[in-house]
Structure 1
Amino acid sequence: MRQLPTYDMMETIRNTNQWLGATASAFGSYPITGLVPNPAFQLMAAWGAVTERSFSRMVAKPDWGIHTVVGEDGRDHVVTVEKELEQPFGDLLRFHVHSRPQRPRRILLVAPMSGHYATLLRSTVASLLPDAELWITDWHNARDIPVSAGKFDVEDFTDYLIDHIRHLGPDIHVIAVCQPAPLALAAAAWLAEREPQAQPASLTLIGGPIDPSAAATEVTDFGHRVTMGQLEHLAIQHVGVKYAGVGRLVYPGLMQLSSFIAMNAERHGQAFFDQIVATAKGEARDNDKHNKFYDEYLAVMDMTAEFYLSTVERIFKNNEIGRNAFTIRGEQVDIGAITETAVKVVEGENDDISAPGQCLAALDLLTGLADAKKASHLEPGAGHYGIFAGRSWRNNIRPLVLDFIDGNSRNQPKSGPRLKAVGASGSGGGTPKGGPTPV
């Protein structure tokens, strides 16, 4: 599995399917086919269009698509995305709203490194941007990082978060979504013990595996069932010759995508069948719900092998965060050292990725934090995606998180009117009906 041709073969298969889709779309669209009183050609063209778009998205990094924010003055303020810190495996991005007074809330949104780009949180960003100065972690596709850049594992990930928090200052409020929740907790603990003046004002953990043993899911069952040797043999490959990271060991995005789809194969199949029929009827649109969702969902990135394997081994198998036994470069990280950073936990009642109880376990580890600085929320009926980007987030969770931030802010901002960001994809829309949970 580790040979270069294996990775290149997967890319060749993707290219071939994209070409087949383009060919079918062109062939079925010739004007002469209009003389045939049969829908076969329309269906062929529709299948080709949907197939070509789907396979082309797998190697494209989506755009943020957030262009303006409506200010309190009623004007549209232009939004630009700027790199504030550049590092080999990920950048710290800032969403700069031009001609708008600085908002008192300052938020660092920690995006997951779990196969998708940070743009998976586009609607989360769009919902927070009108009410805060916002930064986000933008992790790079491992296939584009030369081997000379070195390794990147869970300790390096935590080091990046420490650097980002230290850079942004003690009045920053951190929101970690899914996979980075345990490592964000470790970063806050490291700072609390060693650089207390740099620790964040608050930390909100959304649907993350702080203690995976607290509640079993298909993800945790897989983590316990497979051995590290099996995982390394079956999932890890060398990047092929097409990319700058040639030779780097990675967990390929295309392989991750196949496992994502397999978890909800029937629902995905029905979604694509419905889209083909809608396209054949002329009812599909370039930016309809299906395309908006799958343009993001199908855009996958490679993870470094050491990050993926250390996540499985240390976070899931050994449960180092849940046991308060996590170390960075051999130094113990004591979560009980957090005494000033307020911590809020958000979980979804129907979360099948990080089940209720896994993230809540963080509060029991915070032995040095006063109860007044701890909070939790279980969203009824919400799945994994809904608690950070869907209707549950917009209507219920987001206001609670902003109130928690205000209540624990060191500069005590006053809550103002909560406005709306406007952009090509910035309306904050969630998963289409019956859609999958992508993280």
Structure 2
Amino acid sequence: MKGMFSYDLMESTRNTNEWLGASARAMSSYPIWGLVPHPMFKVLSAWGRVTERSFARMVIKPDWGIRTVVGSDGRDHLVDVETVVSRPFGDLIHFKVMGRDPMPRRVLLVAPMSGHYATLLRSTVLSLLPDCDVYVTDWINARDIPVSAGKFDIEDYTLYLVEFMRHLGPDIHVVAVCQPAPITLAATAYLAEAEPKAQPRTLTLIGGPIDPDAAPTEVTDFGRRLTMGQLEHLAIQRVGFKYAGAGRLVYPGLLQLASFISMNLDRHTKAFSDQILRAAKGEAKERDAHNRFYDEYLSVMDMTAEFYLSTVERVFKKREIAQNIFTVAGQRVDIGRITDVAVHTIEGEEDDISAPGQCRAALDLCTGLPDSKKAFHVEPGAGHYGIFAGKSWRNNIRPLVLDFFDENSGLPNRRRTGKPEIRAV
């Protein structure tokens, strides 16, 4: 499957479905059909609108949509998303709140590179902005990166994080969500040995596979069932002629999206059927719950083949980080070198992607860290998404994380907004 043909075939299929939806919507929306006393045309128009929107979203990068935040002075402050560090495969962006005094808490959110854009953390950013100065790793879609930019694997990812942490300085609080948790732990250990003064104050790991074998799930078992050769043959394709990264080997976002949907096919089928019926009745809205969720969920990005394959092989199969034998540029990264950075692990009791135990394994690896600088929390009843973006995050986990920042910063616990008042589009 490494040829461009398979990649372009997927894109052609997506494009055709988008066109079919647009055609059905246009043809069935003519006023003349209002004279026909049959619901078929309304249902066909609704199917067209939902289908066109869904397949169009797959190649659109979502906007952050964060316009203003209410400050402690009670006034609206405009939010500007600025690029602080620009690199070929990912940028460090800053949510600059205009006219607000400098915040004592500075947070680096390490977004997953797992098929979705960093905007997957939009609600996490929204919840932190009233109390923190927020930075986010904004990974770039591999299909848009020319082959001349070179490779990007798990070691390059680690070095990117090291560079971002160095740039932000030692007063930063790092929060890694899901997939990057083990790599962020390694990047912190790398800094602890190479440049101890540049280490962050705290490291919070949320639902990440530090040790995938600690509590196997369907996701981790998938990596076990296939050999690396089989995985490369089935998952890797070359970017087609349409994009700047033509010829680059990638794990296509569309392919990963298909696997995501297949895992919960019944639920997604019902969600779209219900939305079509709502649209036919005139009850669907531009920003209703269905569209808000699927506008983000369907927007996918390609990963470089070398990053995807090296992550599966080294994190899941060989468990290099779990066994503390991970290397960068031929040098071992010893997690035991972390002696000053307070580490907090957070897991969801019902997490079926990174089950409880996988993330907490990080604390056992930090052998040089005193127990007073270690903390863990298992959120009762929470699934994977809920621990960083859902009700569990907003009501229970976010306050714990902010308290953890303060306890390990020499700062008094500050008054926080329980329900941040933020306007977003």
Tell me the TM-score range normalised by the shorter chain. Answer: over 0.9
Query: In the TM superposition, what is the alpha-carbon distance from 1:416 to its structure 2 partner?
Result: 2.7
| Structure 1 residues 60-90: Cα deviation after superposition (integer angstroms, max 9, x where no partner) | 0000001000011110000010000000000
Q: Which residue of 1 aligns with 2:144?
A: 144
Q: Which residue of 2 aligns with 1:350?
A: 350
Structure 2: how far apart are the matches of 1:349 and 1:131? 27
Runs of 4+ aligned residues of structure 1 deviating over 3 Å after TM superposition are none
Structure 1: how far apart are the matches of 2:301 and 2:412? 38
Query: In the TM superposition, what is the alpha-carbon distance from 1:349 to its structure 2 partner?
Result: 0.4
Structure 2: how far apart are the matches of 1:357 and 1:111? 21
Matches within 5 A, 1:150-169: 150-169=150-169
Structure 2: how far apart are the matches of 1:62 and 1:266? 26
| Structure 1 residues 75-126: Cα deviation after superposition (integer angstroms, max 9, x where no partner) | 0000010000000000000000000101100000000000000000000000
Q: Which residue of 2 aligns with 1:432?
A: none
| Structure 1 residues 163-210: Cα deviation after superposition (integer angstroms, max 9, x where no partner) | 000100001000000000000000111111121100110000000000
Query: In the TM superposition, what is the alpha-carbon distance from 1:20 to its structure 2 partner?
Result: 0.2
Structure 2: how far apart are the matches of 1:383 and 1:20? 36
Matches within 5 A, 1:9-88: 9-88=9-88
| 2:415 is the counterpart of 1:416 | yes
Structure 1: how far apart are the matches of 2:400 and 2:297? 27
Question: Which amino acid in structure 2 is aligned with residue 417 of structure 1?
Answer: R
User: Residues 104 and 413 of structure 1 are in contact (CA less than 8 Å); yes or no, is this contact kept in structure 2?
Assistant: no
Q: Which residue of 1 aligns with 2:400?
A: 400
Q: What secondary structure does 1:7 align onto?
A: helix
Q: Which residue of 1 aligns with 2:366?
A: 366
User: Residues 186 and 333 of structure 1 are in contact (CA less than 8 Å); yes or no, is this contact kept in structure 2?
Assistant: yes
Matches within 5 A, 1:65-144: 65-144=65-144
Structure 2: how far apart are the matches of 1:409 and 1:402? 11
Q: Which residue of 1 aligns with 2:199?
A: 199
Structure 1: how far apart are the matches of 2:260 and 2:360? 25
Query: In the TM superposition, what is the alpha-carbon distance from 1:414 to its structure 2 partner?
Result: 4.6
| Structure 1 residues 334-376: Cα deviation after superposition (integer angstroms, max 9, x where no partner) | 0011000000000000000000000010011011000000000
Structure 2: how far apart are the matches of 1:259 and 1:409? 42
| Aligned-residue RMSD, C-alpha | 0.8
Structure 2: how far apart are the matches of 1:295 and 1:161? 28
Matches within 5 A, 1:327-338: 327-338=327-338
User: Residues 129 and 421 of structure 1 are in contact (CA less than 8 Å); yes or no, is this contact kept in structure 2?
Assistant: no
Structure 1: how far apart are the matches of 2:365 and 2:109? 22
Q: Which residue of 2 aligns with 1:384?
A: 384
Q: 1:250 to 1:421 in 2, by over 3 A?
A: farther
Q: What secondary structure does 1:86 align onto?
A: strand
Q: Which residue of 1 aligns with 2:248?
A: 248
How many residues were matched structurally? 424
Structure 2: gaps (5+ residues): none
Q: Which residue of 2 aligns with 1:7?
A: 7
Question: Which amino acid in structure 1 is aligned with residue 414 of structure 2?
Answer: S
| Structure 1 residues 107-165: Cα deviation after superposition (integer angstroms, max 9, x where no partner) | 00000000000000000000001100010000000000000100001100000000000
Structure 2: how far apart are the matches of 1:413 and 1:14? 53
Query: In the TM superposition, what is the alpha-carbon distance from 1:420 to its structure 2 partner?
Result: 1.9
Structure 2: how far apart are the matches of 1:53 and 1:422? 27
TM-score by length of 2: 0.99
TM-score by length of 1: 0.96
Structure 1: how far apart are the matches of 2:412 and 2:244? 45
Q: Which residue of 2 aligns with 1:433?
A: none
Q: 1:99 to 1:259 in 2, by over 3 A?
A: same
User: Residues 92 and 138 of structure 2 are in contact (CA less than 8 Å); yes or no, is this contact kept in structure 1?
Assistant: yes
Q: Which residue of 1 aligns with 2:290?
A: 290
Question: Which amino acid in structure 2 is aligned with residue 415 of structure 1?
Answer: R
User: Residues 126 and 421 of structure 1 are in contact (CA less than 8 Å); yes or no, is this contact kept in structure 2?
Assistant: no
Matches within 5 A, 1:214-233: 214-233=214-233
Structure 1: how far apart are the matches of 2:178 and 2:22? 36
Question: Which amino acid in structure 2 is aligned with residue 81 of structure 1?
Answer: V
Structure 1: how far apart are the matches of 2:271 and 2:93? 33
Q: Which residue of 1 aligns with 2:269?
A: 269
Structure 2: how far apart are the matches of 1:283 and 1:18? 22
Q: What secondary structure does 2:254 align onto?
A: helix
Question: Which amino acid in structure 2 is aligned with residue 337 of structure 1?
Answer: R
User: Residues 105 and 413 of structure 1 are in contact (CA less than 8 Å); yes or no, is this contact kept in structure 2?
Assistant: no
Question: Which amino acid in structure 1 is aligned with residue 399 of structure 2?
Answer: P
Structure 2: how far apart are the matches of 1:338 and 1:361? 15
Q: Which residue of 1 aligns with 2:279?
A: 279
Question: Which amino acid in structure 2 is aligned with residue 279 of structure 1?
Answer: A
Q: Which residue of 2 aligns with 1:237?
A: 237
Query: In the TM superposition, what is the alpha-carbon distance from 1:27 to its structure 2 partner?
Result: 1.2
Which has the larger displacement, 4-13 or 93-102?
4-13
Query: In the TM superposition, what is the alpha-carbon distance from 1:6 to its structure 2 partner?
Result: 1.2
Question: Which amino acid in structure 1 is aligned with residue 81 of structure 2?
Answer: V
